[in-house]
Structure 1
Amino acid sequence: MSVLKPTSYQRPFLKWAGGKFRLLPRILKVLPEGNKLIEPFAGSGALFLNADYDRYLLADINPDLIDVFNHLKKGKTSFIDYCAQYFTDQYNNQKTFYELREHFNQLKPGKERAALFVYFNRHGYNGLCRYNRSGGFNVPFGRYKKPYFPAREMELFAEKAKRAEFRCQSFSKTMAHTRKGNVIYCDPPYLPWSLTANFTSYSQQEFSLDNQRELALEAKKLAKRDVPVVISNHDTDFARLIYAKAKDLQSFPVRRFISCDGAGRNNAQELIVVYRK
């Protein structure tokens, strides 16, 4: 696998909270050689776009995300043109946004719902992807003057997708069907800094501390079968505990943007963990 130069990194077409675009140099540096890259937490696909393997499997439990990827892979230019209709002044206002959001929440999976997911990603507040307990998409209007339509980024994603498979499934199911020659990169919902202070908001992500432990144990098992696993997470005491059996742990500061003003920006410690035989 070749590591691309920073100047040649391809941006994903989706904005994504916790996306790994800025961490690509560090992640690509530790990714082992292999014939297939498997990502049980697909996100925006930033790593997929910039890593060089023969084949790829991207999975996620968000059906809207995987549906968009599959529609783009299948429809290519026609799907991109279909999405473009929503990126005009006619659709960039609060009233229309909320009408489309209500319509989206009534739609079944299909081309229209997939295109609206792209629309919300660029017109919604801060590129968030959030659902209420009933499964309704509930991100508020973002109030952007002219949201960017990522036509070029979608074209490049569709081209790379020729070598990829996209599945809506759990991380455990994705990791269970791996074999020697595969390389796994996991970007799970991150651990909270304080388990006491953040437990409630963290549990709403439906990725519990037991899930975090399960992921670490599965990575250890796969490494013994000669399937290397790389994991990103916050560098916390709990992370150090569950990743204690990893071969390599790298900690470094990452700039976080937690506020609209500069005073609300600070550094957080990131952890990249490598399990290998």
Structure 2
Amino acid sequence: MKKEVTPFLKWAGGKRWLIQQYPELFPTEFNTYFEPFLGSGVVFFHIQPEFAVLNDTNKDLIDSYKAIRSRWRKVYTLLSEHHKNHCKNYYYDIRSTSYRSLEERAAKMIYLNRTCFNGIYRVNKKGEFNVPIGSKTQVLLDTDDFQKISKILKGIKLLNTDFEKVINLSREHDFVFVDPPYTVRHNSNGFVKYNEVLFSWEDQERLAQCLIKAKNRGVKILMTNAAHPSIRQLYEPNGFNIKAVSRYSSISANKKSRSNYQELLIFCNL
């Protein structure tokens, strides 16, 4: 049995609920694991595959993984300093400071992620992180095991590129887990913007075509997406299995909009 590892980041749309409620959807045998939208890597850390290609368009996020993999002790030391000095003024000082070294940038991101409002990652048009301070004060967590995470990441390919390039690397008997930023608001026609770059409807169509090709290559695929007729229409006619599931969202800043909603699980070749 592999030792359970808690991801070191909190990320919008985390998939812990998925691995807890639908473990049967995750294949136990495959060659290489691919995750083109990494985020906090909940599924990756649950599976802990020997061979994997992990990707995200967020360079700060991927650099944090690289720093934990190669310099986890230094990152932990820097986080200890942030923990000791944390207060409102210190938070905004760190938020406005630019760092050059990989470990300093990683420690900054993890510190801000753990102490900002609701663990949200948001940047302005200049690419500057602009989330205000939150209520949490713990920078070092009891669940932290950077040494173990570093070991899991050894030999894993970490990329910062477009999702299509990553999925196109997959071959027969590989497993691709796909969790894109949702174009449509759950159960409605509105739009959601998790970052400064909107994952457009054209991106959803491009993703579907990419996954159809992967399916035809014999790749095992599991995807989560918004429960919306337009999403179904991209996959149902192309032989994908679709399961609608209900879950609770606590991401919203408005308590009234935190409620149960549906998501789609889309899969094939499992």
Q: Same fold (TM over 0.5)?
A: yes
Q: Within 5 Å, which residues of 2 pair with 1:59-78?
A: 59-78=55-74
User: SS where residue 10 of structure 1 aligns?
Assistant: coil
| Structure 1 residues without counterparts, runs of 5 or longer | none
Residue in 1 that maps onto 2:219:
227
Residue in 2 that maps onto 1:81:
77
Whole-angstrom distance in 1 between the partners of 2:189 and 2:210: 28
For 1:119-166, what per-residue CA distance to the aligned partner results, in whole angstroms no more than 9, with x for missing partners?
101111111111111111111111324444366332332121124221
Asked whether the 8 Å contact 2:79–2:139 carries over to 1, the reply is no
Whole-angstrom distance in 2 between the partners of 1:266 and 1:255: 5
User: SS where residue 96 of structure 2 aligns?
Assistant: helix
| Structure 2 residues without counterparts, runs of 5 or longer | none
Residue in 2 that maps onto 1:161:
153
Residue in 2 that maps onto 1:275:
268
Asked whether the 8 Å contact 2:223–2:267 carries over to 1, the reply is yes
For 1:196-248, what per-residue CA distance to the aligned partner results, in whole angstroms no more than 9, with x for missing partners?
86348479543101101111111111111111221111211111111222431
Whole-angstrom distance in 1 between the partners of 2:71 and 2:195: 36
Asked whether the 8 Å contact 2:185–2:191 carries over to 1, the reply is no
User: SS where residue 53 of structure 2 aligns?
Assistant: strand
Residue in 2 that maps onto 1:25:
20
Go from structure 1 to structure 2 and tell me whether the alpha carbon gap of 1:175 and 1:27 turns closer, same or farther (over 3 Å shift): farther
Go from structure 1 to structure 2 and tell me whether the alpha carbon gap of 1:36 and 1:123 turns closer, same or farther (over 3 Å shift): same
Residue in 1 that maps onto 2:245:
252
TM-score (norm 2): 0.89
Residue in 2 that maps onto 1:94:
88
| 1:266 and 2:262 correspond | no
Which amino acid counterpart does residue 124 of structure 1 have in structure 2?
Answer: C
Give the superposition deviation at 1:194. 7.2
Say which of 47, 50, 72 aligns to 2:46. 50
Go from structure 1 to structure 2 and tell me whether the alpha carbon gap of 1:126 and 1:160 turns closer, same or farther (over 3 Å shift): same
Whole-angstrom distance in 1 between the partners of 2:10 and 2:187: 28
Give the superposition deviation at 1:26. 4.5
| RMSD between superposed Cα atoms in Å | 2.6
Greater mean deviation of Cα atoms: 18-27 or 255-264:
255-264
TM-score (norm 1): 0.86
Runs of 4+ in 1 over 6 A off after TM superposition: none
| 1:34 and 2:30 correspond | yes
Whole-angstrom distance in 2 between the partners of 1:66 and 1:225: 28
